Amino acid sequence: MSSKFYITTPIYYVNDIPHIGHAYTTIIVDVLARFHHLLGQEVFFLTGTDEHGQKIEQAATKKGKNPKEYVDEISKSFKDIWENFEISYDKFIRTTDSYHLQTAQKAFLKMYQRGDIYKGEYEGNYCISCEAFFTKSQLIEEKKCPDCKKETTLVKEESYFFKLSAYQDRLLEFYKQHNDFILPKSRYNEVIKFVEAGLEDLSITRTSFDWGIKLPSEIASKDSKKHVMYVWLDALINYLSALGYQNTLNNKMDFWPVNYHIVGKDILRFHAVYWPAFLMSLELPLPQHIAAHGWWTRDGQKMSKSVGNVVNPQEVVNAYGLDCFRYFILREVPFGQDGDFSQRALIERINSDLSNDLGNLLNRLLGMSAKYFNNHLKVDIQAFRTHYKEELESIHRTLMGLETLMQKVQINRYLEEIWKIFALANGMIAKKEPWRLAKEDKMQEVAELLVFIANLLIKSAICLSPCMPKTAEEILSVFNLSLKSKYYLEFIRDNQIVSEVVLMPISALFPKIEAPLLEEKQKEEKTQNFITKEEFSKIEIKVGTIMGVEVMPKSEKLLKLQVDLGEERERQIIAGIKPYYSAQELVGRQVCVLANLKPAKLMGELSEGMILAVKDEEGLSLIQPQMIKKNGSPIS
């Protein structure tokens, strides 16, 4: 393993203050950075703010500020929150920093001189919110952005292009040879499909606004139009500027290539397709891993400023504590999948995992050590190793497996494994009943059990420290230890065991939370969409078979279906499924029908029910029973 480890967050747009999504990405990077510190590596952790582009220019104008004044303010709010969150970053880059300007211009020039950049005219649609170009066929409802669904603007302007198409084969070859380049695996396949579908050259300059990095003077002087760099080209280059590539900063290119770019799934394409192509053009080695996480919703709903339901991570941390928040977001969702934030789920995690499983375990150890041994535990190491051989080996195996999980950024699995160890300890206490052993005066057995738990907590705390740094320090302080990377080598890799411990009591970790600590809970309760069983029983859903299908000529979406619901006559149902199914595919198919929906007319035709279907970004699919069932059978 190389001794250097370079990891980055995306640089955040400064059109908005930090929210849970930003905190999530940054905390994942913080965990990996701390973990690699533990392994004894030299870590460079980069974060920062992305400050150019049309979106930012517009946001500043809206606030009546000049862009620089505006970006200074918001960039500071990111810096401040990471400080409050004790994020262990090594450098905070701003794309308005002068050294970054130097790197971006030098990189542009190099790609130009290599023949990878040419001048042309761009005509197409641009989404200002995503700062991304789209072809007509990519748009939804003719005008809207396929990613954020906001309306795009038609752009027709002179532009420089990057010859992305020329890199298609080299990219595919690279992915093939590095099948862990993109994590998780499902996203790897998605990126390959995207590239295989064909890459178009990328417009990399804009002329219709000013707030961006100017082209290098060698090119600009020959150019009548005022071009600024496309904000994504400018932004991606930050990963090089921060290491002093082609600028006046101290050169740290010995950290290159980056080990992990952690990004959200929405910006994977920029990192996994465009960025490697730019780097190939710059003749630099490519990143080792691009790991894409999922998105957070709140109480099941997409977060948005207009709805006012954006989770403010600072408020959550103020109310529940930093480590509880870190634990929740890291444990709640498998890496790569979307997650939902609710106070209910957060409290559940705190009370059950943190308070019961971990806090109680430490309390029990402290309680029994004080009661039976006056806080001084001592056992014969040989006898102890023999009696607890199996358990000690099992814990060692589990802890050694954690490195692989962290390599794959499976932090939720990493935590699950640590919690298995706490479960083992709690199980041992229940099984051995040390209070009974004490009554029978088997004090050596009690001491061995407590020393076992002490060892287990020391080791677990070391491994827990990247995820919950404060908690780990607190647990270790009980054993008069503090966090040092040499302890990782001693206690984890070399499986060192202590046979004598003097415990220093601390106050209980994670007191139970009885009621939500953030005010919006009342609102949350009222808006919860629960229904009672009685309410549900009013709904009649039945199995039926589609007997006939007619196209409704005036409608792009609707089909007229005749459905047999086991009644005297077939029902006529108008369903908006024409874009997804042909008539041939439908006749004879069983479906689920909401049978007691009030009849209504749709485009002049009576509809006597509703066909149930499920829809996601890949399209719509009808719901049907797994096996053929009698028409009219009720679904409950």
Site residues for ligand MSP per CB under 6 A: 10-13, 21-22, 24-25, 50, 235-236, 238, 263-264, 266-267, 295-296, 303
Other C-beta atoms lying within 10 Å of the C-beta of residue 438: 15
Give 562's contacts (C-beta < 8 A, 6+ positions apart): 546, 547, 548, 549, 570, 571, 572, 573
Rounded to a whole number of angstroms, the minimum distance from the CB of residue 272 to ligand MSP is: 12
Q: What whole-number distance in Å separates Cα of residue 269 and Cα of residue 138?
A: 14
Q: What whole-number distance in Å separates Cα of residue 466 and Cα of residue 174?
A: 32
**Of 13 and 373, which CB lies nearer to ligand MSP in the complex structure?**
13
**Of 70 and 491, which CB lies nearer to ligand MSP in the complex structure?**
70
What is the residue-wise DSSP string for 524-566?
Answer: HHHH-----HHHHHT--EEEEEEEEEEE-TT-SS-EEEEEE-S
Other C-beta atoms lying within 10 Å of the C-beta of residue 258: 23
**Of 27 and 475, which CB lies nearer to ligand MSP in the complex structure?**
27
135-139's contacts with Cβ under 8 Å and 24+ in sequence apart are 135/200
Closest CA to 591 of 570, 616, 555, 565: 565
**Of 22 and 326, which CB lies nearer to ligand MSP in the complex structure?**
22
Number of residue whose CB is nearest ligand MSP: 264
**Of 303 and 549, which CB lies nearer to ligand MSP in the complex structure?**
303
Rounded to a whole number of angstroms, the minimum distance from the CB of residue 48 to ligand MSP is: 9
**Of 292 and 611, which CB lies nearer to ligand MSP in the complex structure?**
292
Give the β-pairing of 590-594 and 610-611.
antiparallel
**Of 6 and 452, which CB lies nearer to ligand MSP in the complex structure?**
6
Rounded to a whole number of angstroms, the minimum distance from the CB of residue 256 to ligand MSP is: 16
Helix (H, G, I), strand (E, B) or coil at 124: strand
624 with 591: CB under 8 angstroms?
yes
**Of 16 and 403, which CB lies nearer to ligand MSP in the complex structure?**
16
Rounded to a whole number of angstroms, the minimum distance from the CB of residue 90 to ligand MSP is: 17
**Of 41 and 102, which CB lies nearer to ligand MSP in the complex structure?**
102
| 536 exposure class (CB count in 10 Å sphere: 0-12, 13-18, 19+) | exposed
Rounded to a whole number of angstroms, the minimum distance from the CB of residue 182 to ligand MSP is: 14
Rounded to a whole number of angstroms, the minimum distance from the CB of residue 571 to ligand MSP is: 42
What sign results for the dihedral spanned by CA atoms 121, 147, 18, 190?
Answer: negative
**Of 132 and 483, which CB lies nearer to ligand MSP in the complex structure?**
132
54 with 131: CB under 8 angstroms?
yes
**Token pair for residue 94?**
């701003």
Rounded to a whole number of angstroms, the minimum distance from the CB of residue 635 to ligand MSP is: 34
Rounded to a whole number of angstroms, the minimum distance from the CB of residue 231 to ligand MSP is: 8
Q: Is the peptide bond before 285 cis (omega within 30 degrees of 0)?
A: no
**Of 242 and 451, which CB lies nearer to ligand MSP in the complex structure?**
242
**Of 147 and 403, which CB lies nearer to ligand MSP in the complex structure?**
147
Rounded to a whole number of angstroms, the minimum distance from the CB of residue 270 to ligand MSP is: 7
Other C-beta atoms lying within 10 Å of the C-beta of residue 390: 8
**Of 76 and 512, which CB lies nearer to ligand MSP in the complex structure?**
76
Rounded to a whole number of angstroms, the minimum distance from the CB of residue 265 to ligand MSP is: 7
Rounded to a whole number of angstroms, the minimum distance from the CB of residue 20 to ligand MSP is: 6
Rounded to a whole number of angstroms, the minimum distance from the CB of residue 366 to ligand MSP is: 38
Rama region for 256: left / alpha / beta (φ>0; ψ in -120 to 50; rest): beta
216 with 101: CB under 8 angstroms?
no
232 with 95: CB under 8 angstroms?
no
**Of 21 and 469, which CB lies nearer to ligand MSP in the complex structure?**
21
The stretches of 14-97 forming alpha helices (DSSP H) are 20-38, 54-62, 67-84
Q: What whole-number distance in Å separates Cα of residue 545 and Cα of residue 81?
A: 57
Strand-pairing partners, residue 497, are none
Rounded to a whole number of angstroms, the minimum distance from the CB of residue 95 to ligand MSP is: 9
Rounded to a whole number of angstroms, the minimum distance from the CB of residue 239 to ligand MSP is: 7
AA identity, residue 290 = I
Q: What whole-number distance in Å separates Cα of residue 212 and Cα of residue 530?
A: 49
Q: What whole-number distance in Å separates Cα of residue 260 and Cα of residue 268?
A: 13
